[in-house]
Structure 1
């Protein structure tokens, strides 16, 4: 998607249908990469193909399928890495150039793009969504016609209900939502479309939401790792 002076480039990577994002400034061709995971050479090749320069790394949360190539990228680009402080503390996350950010902090990319960090807990304690002018990257908080699991360690379905209620009340209805995985019928959707189609946004009470989200799930599950899984050396 392209907005006036800025752009959002979405591409899929990895066995779990992850979306990687370049949030960019058209004039300078500078981008922030969101949730670098699975295969660093593919991310670097995509940047070269688009003729863009990575100037920042943004992490929606600490699960390995969203951050496992942060260190690999830092071998090629010396840029700041942003994650909300509650997530860093929850996961004891460490890497070079790490900035412990707070809700409401902004990241400037190029001349025209300003990205605002929104604390959207529920999937993990420090999950972050990244707000642009007319769009939002939600990581594993909100998917197209779905929402993030709350049974993993650190998940909280009651908090997720509050987060989704707050997002839907604050965001303009024409805001374009970009999720962390390609789990829905389309790669993105507007808030208005999600209010109409997303079953997790239909519940009027926290009890109804928790029963739906946790149906068949065991709390405090450890996030599985694909087998076989070999991180790249790049």
Structure 2
């Protein structure tokens, strides 16, 4: 008997989401009716000019910035129906964040930086340390567990940041220029680690980037320009310009 094809599960769903800032003559519309889905096991690039709203859209998807209109669903849960406490719980357990700068706690080791968010979420220390060991092995840093961020290279710091984002087993990974501070070779290496984990763990990942080469290596691309989203299937055209 042949297997029945299954449709990938949408982890992130936006329907006609809008966001602006200010009022009256100073009103700036940033997001104009954004609709999209990101499914489990899918890595989606978000590209657009500086100031186009990429970071605002990621903040909305991560429940850090409220939408003024529209609907946001995270793993099937309607964000608009959540209390502040419920939104915090979803961010902690369901969403992982990676930023351009690693934001690791400087006084703690790589291992401890991954243990701490787990303990905040209620995981016992022994289990949190086991998870941290596992993740550091997956990003190729087993030999650097006891090093503090200042003792790590830029690429190593960002790998630890990726491991930390995955510590609480999120379903959705949001990344804002995660290789933006790295040289091209290191950026490629870090991206390869990130892509491998996304696909192996079945995460839904939305990655904002200016790097069209990296965007072209993702499953598909969403563009944002003048507050509106566009969709490109497959590789980004080398003629596209979003600088």
What band does the TM-score fall into relative to the shorter chain? Answer: 0.3 to 0.5
- What TM-score comes out, normalization by structure 1 length? 0.34
- What TM-score comes out, normalization by structure 2 length? 0.33
Larger Rg: 2
